Structure 1
Amino acid sequence: MTTPPTSVGAPGRSPVLIIGGGLVGASLAIALDAAGIDAVMVEAAAPRVGEQPSYDERNLALARATVNGLSAIGVWKHAAAQATPIRHIHVTRAGEFGSVRLDAERHGVDALGWTLPARELGAALLRRLDECTRLRRLAPAKLAALEPRDDGWRAIINTGEGELTIDTPLLVGADGTASFVRERLGIGAERHDYGQTLFVCTVTPERDHAGRAYERFADDGPVALLPLAGRRCGLVLTVPGEDADAVAALDDDAFVAFAQQRFGWRLGRLTRPGKRHAYPIQRVAASVLVAPRAVLVGNAAQTIHPIGAQGFNLGLRDALTLAELLADAADPGAEALLARYAERRASDREGTMAMSHGLIQLACLPQPLLGPVRSLAMLALDRVPPLQGLLARRGMGFRGEPPRAVLERLP
């Protein structure tokens, strides 16, 4: 039997219900709490760093706008000590001339972004969640069923203490790529399998990275090195899917030799690889972001190719835009409000998805005739100031109509 419907916060007010407590879901919950909005967050994993799948071994490249947003909601103070500034970005294509070089000082900022292990960001989010006063966290817990109502949704939640019923005026799907909420809402999704697998680990380069991030494209996919503390680097290596098992079976020496061959010698010899983790790459884009009294954020709304490291950055802008709109709303599930959310997110979402998809198609396409075109494009982006400025601003996360929390004065 279910218990009677529950609420948190002020009497007579039903909470916003967030399904999913990963990086984006937790960020949204914190932003709503900071805005004085009652919410319930349901997460399948226990509230510990080691239990949450998204708090894993990936090394995240956080755009400048993302760090602004995390600072605004009180998360960055718990993570800053573990972060490494990205002061330079260097992009090349194997076997072709031309490169793109972005420099923070040239664009009037102290850093273009920061790198941070996902596990450390997860730990910072958990510490900030412990400070929330208007949030109810159900973890481990699982959404079992949804029932539409005239004024919202009734959710049946399975917890360790039994079944719980929650009525909400706004249902938020932050439950990842295989979103149950998206499926239950009847929202379709466009899927594209890139036929690639991503390997991530840490390595130690012979030369100091000096705050420089590298991305190198090739026929087999991109490879990146991200600066980390202690002169370490985060390696992001893409391989064709059919080669994934063979690469996974390599011992450490053979794997580093393979990574060295793919990346090159700009930082000298790579050594001391950390534990490897593999992630198949796919693109999943929801056909719409909203339904009656429901909204999708983060990977439930769009899972994109990790090229350019835009996934969490895009998802956080989803969360902060939604929180900003809800802060001034009498009815959090109002049709006009959700339409405004979709409108606000359209340019940023579509532009970022098109960039990531188009870049992997163009930069890694094994077509020799494209080589001169790609090289000339890189030269233009590197040497034409307006193009360089546009690229830097978008890379720092300032595109479309961003949430106020991420904004700052830029030259």
Structure 2
Amino acid sequence: MPHPTSSNPPVLIVGGGLVGASLAIALDVAGVDAVMVEAAAPRADAQPSYDERNLALSRATVNGLEAIGVWRHAAALATPIRHIHVSRSGDFGSVRLDAQREGVDALGWTLPAREFGNALLRRLDECRRLRRLAPARLEALEPLAEGWRARVSTADGVQEIDAALLVGADGTASYVRDRLGIEADTYDYRQSLFVCTVTPERPHANRAYERFADNGPVALLPLAERRCGLVLTVPTAEADAIAALDDDGFLAFAQQRFGWRLGRLSRPGKRHPYPIKRVAAGRLTGPRAVLVGNAAQTVHPIGAQGFNLGLRDALTLAELVAAAPDPGAPALLEEYAARRAPDREGTMNMSHGLVQLACLPQPLLGPLRSLALLACDRVPPLRGLLARKGMGFRAEPPRAVLERLP
């Protein structure tokens, strides 16, 4: 059924995760009615935890979150990234990016995922044109002449919702993508990811580290209270053995992989292996339907581009819908796909290419990789381009992320 504040059918967002919720908020800011269906009940977690997942948010992402009113709920708990150090085990040279040298106060920020989720929930509570159904289960989707009809189970019974535009924001295993008949290309990296919090012996000085090696990248992200977020990639064949290590054994392994730039690492949090796969939808749109976030593309976590890319999906879509009388018009969806293609393909190719070139044992490429690191560090135009892309300013970004570009 239509949203009660409008005679026009709303936008229907399936999935209320980080990208889906951000899209819902952006549409509300733009004055567009929407319904968001989310399987999990909204629940703010006010209990701080040493052991939690952390997000690396690019500068463009934070600009966008400021524009839609989310960042004010999260800024006090975020840690600025003012320096980035990139290197590869066994190769000489490194790339060092510096916020002051690039004319900004920070290249990005880190934030516990729990705190970001809480910020989104607080901002969702402020929305006036959004209808939230959670917990709710999408039972069926039926195409209509001018949109879609969804059957949704809620605590109050089954509801029918007609929408002019269907948005799949329902993650890597997207039901909406399958229902649209959009195939996805999957690439198994045969790698698994461990994420946890550690405490280094020396202060991190707001520096993020990315270190490549034959068996995968390892990253250390600055957090509050001298903590760091560890992101450790290992071959999947070794994941179970590493998961079985006790704290001392895991720390010794992480120390061997990362090195001693911050001294001895201590206090590892809980960790579990997550298989890493690249999943890319064959197309972004269907009849009066569109995919955003992980439903459109799930990328290798190298460089922490996943949510940052998904938010640019959401903000671009909100920008186009706000300016159109019909949110599901074919011309609008064609423009969305065209606008997102360079950023999407560039980001996916970058993450995939880095894994192939920087993390696989190819001894003959060693000198070339080292020269590339030196060039990116010593040649200002190359370093500036790398910093700009790392901050999320790619291709034709949504206006919301540029409003605060220095």
| TM-score normalised by length of structure 2 | 0.97
Shift of 1:277: 3.4
Aligned ranges for residues 91-106 of structure 1 at < 5 Å? Answer: 91-106=86-101
Aligned ranges for residues 335-354 of structure 1 at < 5 Å? Answer: 335-354=330-349
Specify the code of the residue in structure 1 equivalent to 2:352. H
What does the per-residue CA deviation read over 1:290-326, in whole Å, with 9 as the maximum and x for residues that have no partner? Answer: 1110000000000000000000000000000000001
Using a 3 Å threshold, how does the CA distance of structure 1 residues 206 and 186 change in structure 2: closer, same or farther?
same
Contact 1:223–1:235 (8 Å) recurs in 2: yes
What does the per-residue CA deviation read over 1:91-139, in whole Å, with 9 as the maximum and x for residues that have no partner? Answer: 0000110101000011000000000111111010000000011111001
Corresponding residue SS for 2:138 = strand
Pair 1:218-2:213 in alignment: yes
Identity, % of aligned positions:
79
Shift of 1:278: 2.7
Q: Distance in 2 between matches of 1:168 and 1:184?
A: 16
Q: Distance in 2 between matches of 1:259 and 1:334?
A: 51
What does the per-residue CA deviation read over 1:44-70, in whole Å, with 9 as the maximum and x for residues that have no partner? Answer: 1111146xxxxx932111000000000
Contact 1:57–1:277 (8 Å) recurs in 2: no
- Between 1:233-242 and 1:11-20, the stretch displaced more is 11-20
Match of 1:53? none
Q: Distance in 2 between matches of 1:26 and 1:409?
A: 22
Of 9, 12, 18, which aligns to 1:17? 12
Match of 1:317? 312
Pair 1:121-2:120 in alignment: no
Match of 1:369? 364
Shift of 1:10: 3.0
Q: Distance in 2 between matches of 1:237 and 1:49?
A: 28
Q: Distance in 2 between matches of 1:388 and 1:353?
A: 20
Using a 3 Å threshold, how does the CA distance of structure 1 residues 64 and 245 change in structure 2: closer, same or farther?
same
Match of 1:3? none
| 4+ runs deviating over 6 angstroms | none
Contact 1:108–1:410 (8 Å) recurs in 2: no
Of 80, 85, 89, which aligns to 2:80? 85
Specify the code of the residue in structure 2 equivalent to 1:309. A
Of 279, 282, 288, which aligns to 1:287? 282
Using a 3 Å threshold, how does the CA distance of structure 1 residues 408 and 107 change in structure 2: closer, same or farther?
farther
- Between 1:99-108 and 1:7-16, the stretch displaced more is 7-16
Match of 1:193? 188
Specify the code of the residue in structure 2 equivalent to 1:377. A
Corresponding residue SS for 1:47 = coil
Question: What is the root-mean-square deviation of aligned Cα atoms in Å?
Answer: 1.3
Q: Distance in 2 between matches of 1:271 and 1:193?
A: 32
Corresponding residue SS for 2:190 = strand
Shift of 1:182: 0.1
Specify the code of the residue in structure 2 equivalent to 1:15. P
Of 14, 36, 39, which aligns to 2:34? 39
Corresponding residue SS for 2:384 = helix
Corresponding residue SS for 2:341 = helix
Match of 2:48? none
What does the per-residue CA deviation read over 1:174-227, in whole Å, with 9 as the maximum and x for residues that have no partner? Answer: 000000000000001110011111000000001000000001000110000000
Contact 1:27–1:319 (8 Å) recurs in 2: yes
Aligned ranges for residues 214-253 of structure 1 at < 5 Å? Answer: 214-253=209-248
Q: Distance in 2 between matches of 1:85 and 1:304?
A: 24
Shift of 1:160: 1.9
Match of 1:258? 253
Contact 1:9–1:38 (8 Å) recurs in 2: no
Of 391, 394, 406, which aligns to 2:386? 391
What does the per-residue CA deviation read over 1:145-191, in whole Å, with 9 as the maximum and x for residues that have no partner? Answer: 11111100011111122111100000000000000000000001110
| Structure 1 segments unaligned to the other structure (5+ residues) | 1-5, 51-55
Corresponding residue SS for 1:388 = helix
Shift of 1:9: 4.0
| Structure 2 segments unaligned to the other structure (5+ residues) | 46-50
Q: Distance in 2 between matches of 1:75 and 1:253?
A: 39
Corresponding residue SS for 2:303 = helix
Using a 3 Å threshold, how does the CA distance of structure 1 residues 36 and 120 change in structure 2: closer, same or farther?
same
Match of 1:138? 133
Q: Distance in 2 between matches of 1:117 and 1:330?
A: 38
Number of aligned residue pairs: give it: 402
What does the per-residue CA deviation read over 1:60-96, in whole Å, with 9 as the maximum and x for residues that have no partner? Answer: 1100000000000000000001100000000000011
Shift of 1:14: 1.1
Q: Distance in 2 between matches of 1:303 and 1:9?
A: 35
Of 52, 63, 67, which aligns to 1:68? 63
Q: Distance in 2 between matches of 1:44 and 1:311?
A: 21
Specify the code of the residue in structure 2 equivalent to 1:355. M
Contact 2:52–2:197 (8 Å) recurs in 1: no
Contact 2:196–2:268 (8 Å) recurs in 1: yes
Match of 1:302? 297
